[in-house]
Amino acid sequence: MTIRNNNSFPGKHGKRKMTVEEFKEWVDKDNDGRISKAELREALRSVGGWFTKWMSDHGVKSADVNHNGFIDDNEISYLVSFADKHMGVKIQVH
Ligand SMILES: [Ca+2]
C-alpha cells in the first residue's frame, strides 16, 4: 500500500493534520451540518480509539454549549482540543 497523500490515518505516523472544514467533512457523515454523538463515535472508532461510547458522550458534552445534544458549526471549535487529545487529529485553526 502506497501512501500518496495526507488522507491516511495516523497511529504510528503521528497526527493527522486537517482544517476545521476537513474535520467536519470527515465526522459529519450525513452532512446535516452538525455532529451527533453517533457520528463522533464512528469517527473515534475509525481511528481505533478506545471507549468510543464514553469518549463520544464526553466529546459532545464538552463542546455542546447550548445543550441541544449536537455540535453545531459554532461549537466545533470546542472539539479542536478534544480531537487533538483523543483522535490523533491536529486541527489547524486559521
Ligand atoms: Ca451530522
| CA 84 to ligand 1 centroid distance, Å | 20
The CA-atom distances, in angstroms, between 10 and each of 24, 27, 55, 63 are 18, 16, 19, 24
| CA 12 to ligand 1 centroid distance, Å | 29
Q: Is 73 part of a structural domain of the chain?
A: yes
Q: Could you tell me the residue range of the domain that residue 85 belongs to?
A: 36-92
What's residue 54's pLDDT? 95
| CA 2 to ligand 1 centroid distance, Å | 31
Alpha-carbon span 34 to 17, nearest angstrom: 21
pLDDT per residue as tens digits for the range 48-85? 988 999 999 999 999 999 999 999 999 998 999 899 99
How many distinct structural domains can be found in the chain? 1
**Residue 39 has which C-alpha cell?**
457520528
Q: Is 12 part of a structural domain of the chain?
A: no
Q: Is 54 part of a structural domain of the chain?
A: yes
pLDDT per residue as tens digits for the range 18-56? 999 999 999 999 999 999 999 999 999 999 988 999 999
What's residue 49's pLDDT? 85
Q: Is 55 part of a structural domain of the chain?
A: yes
Q: Is 11 part of a structural domain of the chain?
A: no
| CA 1 to ligand 1 centroid distance, Å | 31
Q: Is 67 part of a structural domain of the chain?
A: yes
| CA 85 to ligand 1 centroid distance, Å | 22
